[in-house]
Amino acid sequence: MKNLKNSLNSNLESLLGKLKEIAHLNGIQSLLHWDQETKMPKEAIGSRTEQLGTIASTIHRLQSGPEFENVLKKCVDLRTGDCVLKNASELETRLLREIHKDWVKSSCLPESFVREYQETISISQNIWAEAREKNDFKLFLPYLEKVVNLSNQKIEFYQNSSAFNSQKELTGHPYNFLLDEYESSMTVNELDPLFSKLEIGLKEILQKIQSKNTTPKKMGIKSLHKTKPFFDEKGQWDFGIRVLEDMGYDFEKGYQEKSSHPFTINFHPNDVRITTRFKENDLFEGLSSSVHEGGHALYEQGLLEEWFGTPFCESTSLGIHESQSRFWENIVGKSRAFWSVYYPILKDIFPEQLKYTDCESFYNDINLVNPGEIRVEADEVTYNFHILIRYNIEKKLIEKSLAPKDLPEYWNNAYSEFIGVTPSSDANGVLQDVHWSSGGIGYFPTYTLGNIYASQFYEAMSNELNVEECIRRNQLGKIKNWLNENIHQYGRRYSATELVSNITNSSISIDPFINYLDKKYLR
Amino acid sequence: MKNLKNSLNSNLESLLGKLKEIAHLNGIQSLLHWDQETKMPKEAIGSRTEQLGTIASTIHRLQSGPEFENVLKKCVDLRTGDCVLKNASELETRLLREIHKDWVKSSCLPESFVREYQETISISQNIWAEAREKNDFKLFLPYLEKVVNLSNQKIEFYQNSSAFNSQKELTGHPYNFLLDEYESSMTVNELDPLFSKLEIGLKEILQKIQSKNTTPKKMGIKSLHKTKPFFDEKGQWDFGIRVLEDMGYDFEKGYQEKSSHPFTINFHPNDVRITTRFKENDLFEGLSSSVHEGGHALYEQGLLEEWFGTPFCESTSLGIHESQSRFWENIVGKSRAFWSVYYPILKDIFPEQLKYTDCESFYNDINLVNPGEIRVEADEVTYNFHILIRYNIEKKLIEKSLAPKDLPEYWNNAYSEFIGVTPSSDANGVLQDVHWSSGGIGYFPTYTLGNIYASQFYEAMSNELNVEECIRRNQLGKIKNWLNENIHQYGRRYSATELVSNITNSSISIDPFINYLDKKYLR
């Protein structure tokens, strides 16, 4: 992307100055989360919650205060978001539209609400972790109720804002307003048919896999898990770092830490951190976490620093974000080509443990299609069923046709019907994911969108690159460069839909994903 | 301290609400520093600097903005700091005086200055670390010049503020204004005679030690350092944690990390963290760092949470802070009683390495009086000579009778004359300490004040407790409790001078320190 900032209008320049300050405060807020999840001592949760509330309201005051409004209105029509700068370029007009959109969303919400929301999710996440550990849904229930309630309040603020409504086509299902937080402009009307079609396609594939008995036999590494020796953490750590380096994750602009739930967090394109976790009896847990988060991190490190503070230095949607992580985790990280390079390296690290297995059995083992209760452990085919269940539940929670207290029963029934597995406990059922405790209602669908986008991008990339050969020759950097050039550098300059269209000359489509699975598992 | 907050005036209550918000932002600023020193990736220094600048100006706006002033003036006369609340208690009056003092200092400084200062010291610290590593004073020089320059600007802002001057008796030496940042109300007029007397006393003791040849023979652990086996980090780490636990450092409200320069940092009494560093050939480096920082941390953890946000939940001066760290590091941690408990434990961890030594030689070794070039490695007797040199230099820098560019030469001459050692390099000379790069001109004298206060407190404590016996019986908790009760809980309720007077019925005096050294080294 060409740097057009040299020619910036002075009003726009003041606006960008304000935005940069806000972006730094957002980076600081993220650092508080990072610290809370990685290192914070237990008893600090109370003060951390207050710190988060304080920073959230400080940010909110800046974003929606009169000073910001004064600067903004010199650049755009506050009601419509139309650019009012003379001789504005197409790039500036786009930029201002995104800035205006953020302002509209922020100024709908009262500061007291923002603080309460932030403080609630900080405590709620802590309680959720405890509830999951104790397998005690009732402990978490009041906090879940609060989060659902606050989400509904947020929707009402949005619905009641004339500025917001004049901008958006989100009327219809109230859940649209939450979806929009993560996947801009996505609606239930668009998702419902897409997901229905996907469900049919996936069920067909699953049935074929199961009926043709083409399921790879359990003969790889998983069968070793019941016996010692285990895979020590140090060896797993070193292996993960090696793969991250090969992917092009820049350790001078980030680092990896351990946490109970892997995540990526960014404070600036020059400071993008990831976490992973290890199981001594499951080699793939740590590695796939590192590769998944590494994919997210490459996106954030690939944003252009010169636009820091503006929407052009932000990811365009979580669906696109997930397309990056799942591309690396699945399409690259679970391919034969990948393991033709890395299996020998792994065997050097764990010679005793891998004595009785080989690359092909290892490959088959990590690609075993096997419906189970845990989302993050699911294979590529059944993974999306976990998402469809959650998407359905979220809509019902927001419609108020399902009460939080009835969730465990509803969840377990849905799992039996949809996946054919009844969760062994609430900890492994409704309590398995952090998202709802952290306010992330509307987030889950982006995982499936990520799978869909990733396959569309993969198809387009394959027209320009021999992807398999890049992997086989350990030239992962070429893949990274393609993603940098076609996706990362643009930030929010293009919406998810535009990005898909620019890259694939098509709208969003499940076909490439179904084709990918068909080729991988049935041919 | 009795909790008198129940009966608080409503104006005071609003004021405390504002202060709490500012205190949380200060905690957040400290977290940014903590992260920078422990984990931040290298390339993030630019964005971190901007984050620090942003948070510093955010804090400054709140502290000295019109909203705060409006709330404050309902509680105090803005010019004099006198309480204007009806029926205010003595406690409230004291509290308001301290709050007013902070406000006066903050409102003297323009926001642009605060940001520039913060950003300068963030970069400067980074450059200093590089300069020390490369033994390249010239690399650091322009930043040192900036820091000195900014310190002088700060003094001018203070001098030109009528509000500040009506409060303070700091006229006289301009360095007084910097001293006051760390040791409230301390002046050159008070320090000069105190330090001269100390110099005489210490030189006498040193001479006696050297002439009477009572210097313990080098036969302990230090003589082993030249030969393998080394002391592995894991063993040292575990030992340090054990001692910290015994001291009463609460790991649920803090934790220990590694960094290149040990420090303590607090975000709230429930989140007080320390760092340490290790040398594989020097067992005492890691341990004494842990114990020293642990002493600081006990003070911060001992402040009363109910006063969080107010001066009563802040340490009263750095001299008092150092009295805590140096009490634990030296008076406790280098005593025979201490090692009678911990030497056997240490020997269990390092049986091979300690095979040919015993407790008494170990004790003698760590208490060897031996003038050297490095401050943090100095013994209890010669340590203060390092401080006196720095104190003298700082005054000259601020008086402008010594230019930063001439520092290395001045430093080396001072060391030869005063300590009898010419530094082997600038890295081990003028570049050895982080303080000046981080803006801390005025900080060094508090180390020596800490030694003086610590001995005064030790004398008073000994009237109530058999300290040696507490240590010998591994009842360090009793010592901690005494410090909690007599010092920590009060925060800034009492100034350093008041605290010394309350506890010892005396003013500040070097006699207990000289007596302590005399008893330890000459009897």
pLDDT digits (tens, 9 = 90+) for A349-361: 999 889 888 999 9
Residue among A31, A50, A54 minimizing CB distance to B32 = A31
Active site residues of A: 293
Alpha-carbon distance of B84 to B77, in angstroms, equals: 6
Q: Is the pLDDT of residue A341 over 80?
A: yes
Q: Give the DSSP H or E segment for A258.
A: strand A256-258
* Residues recorded for chain A: 523
Residue B295 pLDDT: 98
Q: Which residue type is seen at A5?
A: K
Alpha-carbon distance of A120 to A438, in angstroms, equals: 9
Pairing of strands A256-258, A271-276: parallel
Sign of CA dihedral A444, A449, A452, A453: negative
Sign of CA dihedral B166, B172, B178, B181: negative
Reported as a pLDDT band with limits 50, 70 and 90, residue A284 is: confident
For A117, A304, A364, A384, B60, the CA distances from A379, given in Å and listed in that order, are 34, 34, 12, 9, 52
Which residue's entry shows tokens 């490459």?
Answer: A298
DSSP letter at A267? E
Joined together, the tokens standing for residue A375 give 């989302």
Could you count the other beta carbons within 10 Å of the beta carbon of residue A347? 16
Residue among A43, A47, A268 minimizing CB distance to B27 = A47
Residue A5 pLDDT: 55
**Lowest mean pLDDT, pick from A465-469, A491-495, B158-162, B346-350:** B158-162
Alpha-carbon distance of A214 to A205, in angstroms, equals: 11
Alpha carbon of A47: minimum distance to chain B alpha carbons (Å): 7
Residue B5 pLDDT: 55
Residue among A25, A252, A271 minimizing CB distance to B47 = A271
Which domains does chain A possess?
Answer: 5-167 (1.20.58), 190-522 (1.10.1370.30)
B41 interaction partners in chain A (CB closer than 8 Å): 251-255, 270-271, 273
Query: How does the average pLDDT of chain A come out, rounded?
Result: 93
Alpha-carbon distance of B484 to B299, in angstroms, equals: 7
Alpha carbon of A29: minimum distance to chain B alpha carbons (Å): 9
Q: Is the pLDDT of residue A305 over 60?
A: yes
Joined together, the tokens standing for residue A155 give 């929707």
- Please name the residues in contact with B91: beta carbons below 8 A apart, sequence gap of 6 or more: B4, B493
- Please name the residues in contact with B152: beta carbons below 8 A apart, sequence gap of 6 or more: B174, B398, B400
Residue among B35, B51, B271 minimizing CB distance to A44 = B271
Mutate to test the interface with A, among B19, B20, B21, B28 (most CBs of A within 10 A): B28
CB contact under 8 A, B25 and A58: yes
Alpha carbon of B268: minimum distance to chain A alpha carbons (Å): 7
Q: What is the pLDDT of residues A365-389, one digit of tens each?
A: 999 999 999 999 999 999 999 999 9
Overall average pLDDT of the A279-283 stretch = 86
Q: Is the pLDDT of residue A227 over 70?
A: no
Residue among B31, B50, B54 minimizing CB distance to A31 = B31
For B81, B146, B434, B437, the CA distances from B117, given in Å and listed in that order, are 27, 9, 16, 11
Q: Which residue type is seen at B24?
A: H
CB contact under 8 A, B32 and A35: no
CB contact under 8 A, A46 and B270: yes
Residues in chain A whose Cβ is within 8 Å of chain B: 20-21, 24-25, 27-28, 31-32, 35, 39-44, 46-48, 50-51, 54-55, 58, 250-255, 257, 267-268, 270-271, 273, 308
Counting one residue from chain A and one from chain B, the pairs whose CB atoms sit within 8 A come to 100
Residue among A24, A35, A257 minimizing CB distance to B51 = A24
A364-374 burial, b for 16+ CB within 10 Å, e for fewer?
A: bbbbebebbbe
Overall average pLDDT of the A455-478 stretch = 97
Joined together, the tokens standing for residue B308 give 């969080």
Q: Give the DSSP H or E segment for A266.
A: strand A264-268
Which residue's entry shows tokens 């105090």?
Answer: B76
Instruction: With beta carbons less than 8 A apart as the criterion, state whether B445 and B179 touch.
Output: yes
Instruction: With beta carbons less than 8 A apart as the criterion, state whether B497 and B508 touch.
Output: yes
Residue B9 pLDDT: 85
Residue B294 pLDDT: 98
Alpha carbon of B61: minimum distance to chain A alpha carbons (Å): 11
pTM equals 0.90
Q: Is the pLDDT of residue A4 over 70?
A: no
Residue A211 pLDDT: 87
Convert B257-294 into a string of H (helix), E (strand) and C (coil).
Answer: EECCCCCEEEEECCEEEEEECCECCEHHHHHHHHHHHH
CB contact under 8 A, A27 and B51: yes
Alpha carbon of A307: minimum distance to chain B alpha carbons (Å): 13
A253 interaction partners in chain B (CB closer than 8 Å): 41, 43-44
Pairing of strands B264-268, B271-276: antiparallel
Strands ordered across the beta sheet of A256-258: A256-258, A271-276, A264-268
CB contact under 8 A, B271 and A41: yes
Reported as a pLDDT band with limits 50, 70 and 90, residue A220 is: very low
Reported as a pLDDT band with limits 50, 70 and 90, residue A229 is: low
Find out whether the peptide bond into A41 is cis, omega within 30 degrees of 0.
no
Q: What sections of A39-79 are H helices per DSSP? A: 45-64, 66-72
A41 interaction partners in chain B (CB closer than 8 Å): 251-255, 270-271, 273
Overall average pLDDT of the A258-273 stretch = 94
Q: Is the pLDDT of residue A218 over 90?
A: no
Could you count the other beta carbons within 10 Å of the beta carbon of residue A505? 8
Find out whether the peptide bond into B229 is cis, omega within 30 degrees of 0.
yes
Alpha-carbon distance of A68 to B100, in angstroms, equals: 31
A463-495 burial, b for 16+ CB within 10 Å, e for fewer?
A: eeeebeebbeeebbebbbebbbebbbbbbbbbb
Residue B4 pLDDT: 54
Instruction: With beta carbons less than 8 A apart as the criterion, state whether B178 and B395 touch.
Output: no
Q: Following DSSP, what letter does each residue of A172-201 receive, concatenated?
A: SSTHHHHHHHHSTT--HHHHHHHHHHHHHH
Overall average pLDDT of the A261-289 stretch = 93
Mutate to test the interface with A, among B115, B241, B266, B268 (most CBs of A within 10 A): B268
A51 interaction partners in chain B (CB closer than 8 Å): 24, 27-28, 267
Which residues of chain B are modeled with pLDDT < 70?
1-7, 166-169, 213-229
CB contact under 8 A, B270 and A27: no
- Please name the residues in contact with B173: beta carbons below 8 A apart, sequence gap of 6 or more: B187, B188, B189, B395, B398, B399
